[in-house]
A and B are shown apart, each in its own frame.
Chain A
Amino acid sequence: MQDGVKKFMYVNRRAPYGTVYALEGLEVILIGAAFDQYVSVAFIDDGVFQLKTGQDTGDSDMKNFSPTYRALGDYDVTKLYVEEESLQERGLTRDDLLDLTYEDEDDDYKEKSSIHIVSRAEMAELLEQQDVILNF
């Protein structure tokens, strides 16, 4: 890895609404993307709800910011790890999640999925590999 480049992982463990953590976390990811670090994002526990399709905040005072996750690819944030057990425990599958993609510049701008479903054990390994972990 290049000098000065660290592995950053943003860990999301909370539901998207009710608290401001998810939205703030997403904004930090977008701002941090300007610094050319090696960035990945983890969705664990209730954090997996952040990627749920069909979010409707009409009855709350919060803006539905789920469309913004689709901009992550434009910001070169292309590694989104979702914990499989967390999905299962909440009765969710991959089909319940937003279809998030990026264009791979090194592969003729082919559109690829940013979402990787990983097991709890794999997630633990990923966490182990990071230089910096930011929890939201």
Chain B
Amino acid sequence: MTTVDRVTNASFEAWKAAYDRARQRDVPFETVSSAPVLPLTTPADLSGTDADAEIGLPGQFPYTRGPYASMYRTRLWTMRQFAGFGTSIDTNKRYHYLLDHGQTGLSVAFDLPTLMGYDSDHPRSEGEVGKCGVAIASLADMETLFDGIPLSDVTTSMTINSPAAIIWAMYLVTAQKQGTKLDQLGGTTQNDILKEYTAQKEFIFPPAPSMRLVIDTMEFATKHTPRWHPVSVSGYHIREAGSTAAQELAFTLADGFAYVVAAIERGLDVDSFAPRLSFFFNSHVDFFEEIAKFRAARRVYAKRMRDKYGAKNERSLMLRFHTQTAGCSLTAQQPLNNIVRTTWEALAGVLGGTQSLHTNSMDETLALPTEHAAKVALRTQQLIAYESGVANTIDPLAGSYFIEDLTNKMEASANEIFDQIDEHGGVVPAIEKGWFQREIAAAAYHYQRELDAGQQIIVGVNKFVEQGDDTKLDTLFIGPEAEREQLERLAKVRRERSQGAVDGALERIRTDAASSVNMMPAFMQASEAYCTLGEMIDVLRDEFGTYTEAPAF
């Protein structure tokens, strides 16, 4: 603390006196994470910071100012809008539409049955097929999804976790059938199982076998798909589940380090896989807090990777991340306001140095985005990129007393939280004790109570409420016909494939699951034989068991 400096600084004292005399608005002056905010930061707040060592330059350790030397002056961030709904035919059409409008990467949203490893015709899938994303039950659906889209030319991000290894195998086989070599493929599988236990709760197996599958994909990628990011360590869902910004940062990095440790234990050299690890953060409404979070993430990661995990390759130290604006910040009331919120959330991502970005559509609290709403969201990014001028210079907020102080505070909070996780024995034991889940639930409840008490404001919800607000947006309605069509598609696959090949491939999955070999070749063989996702997952459920969460409040 720098009280001494301040006392000796007469002008500061004069300001302080004037400030204290002034009437202050009766609001808590805190971030959306309930962190207090100073009225003013001055050089005194940074007097303990070695600017060269902590802030440095872009492309140089500890990468606070960005992973690359030239950042957006070489290449803008990838505009990657997450999309998927209905059958693979429906989603394939949307991908062609987005690519035609200037989108530069694809991002697949899967439906809940796929995310949970159930085939579209499983009884538990009823009513959920194609609702929140696209239904992928076998290689046939994957082939249709990318029909007419050369996988050698686009990069694809796939939001899939528990069944990620299998879905990725289907993607690899689809690419091979298009004539693309595996080493040409670029993209990302989310494949971050740890945050499923803490936040998103779409888990199937217990942590140990789940971790094994993640490390199998990392190992396979290291050997065969050098341009693929096998894991995107995700804070997005932790934040959406209600965590604070500091918790999002620390929990996510801790998950990332847990994969690093597990891969090292597998016998992989840290510098062989770390350059392909990527991250995924939320960009919430508190503009400066978010920018500080992104900048701190790079610094904390670089230091730990070098000092604790022995990484030497520069690319192992640079944290690269995707950003999505905060779905939980959007409102059903006065939905056009969502465009504005999304704009500054996206801007925070860009000023924080993101490598790719998804901007939410204004209608997401009502339904899946319509084509029109998705286009406005994409245009929002294009406006920032081409009109606002912010992409012309690198890390323009560096050196701001406020931003640098906030970045330091984020780093300190993250380190404190790492210590707490260590006290619980590490990430997996803390999950099993429900610690993360309790921390997140408590933060979510705290925020909701502040909101109810008017200490946090959401325009249109608890301030400037319009009675009889009649803004009507068109919404995308996924009717029952998508489910019907998907069931027909799946029945056809089951009819036309060779049962012998299916049985053999599933038997291999069983054998491999019981041993410790890398399972990717078995998943690729089964995909080629048109085994369904559900059939493969069922074998694994048998071998690995399933996970039930003990509720934590």
* A and B together in one complex: no
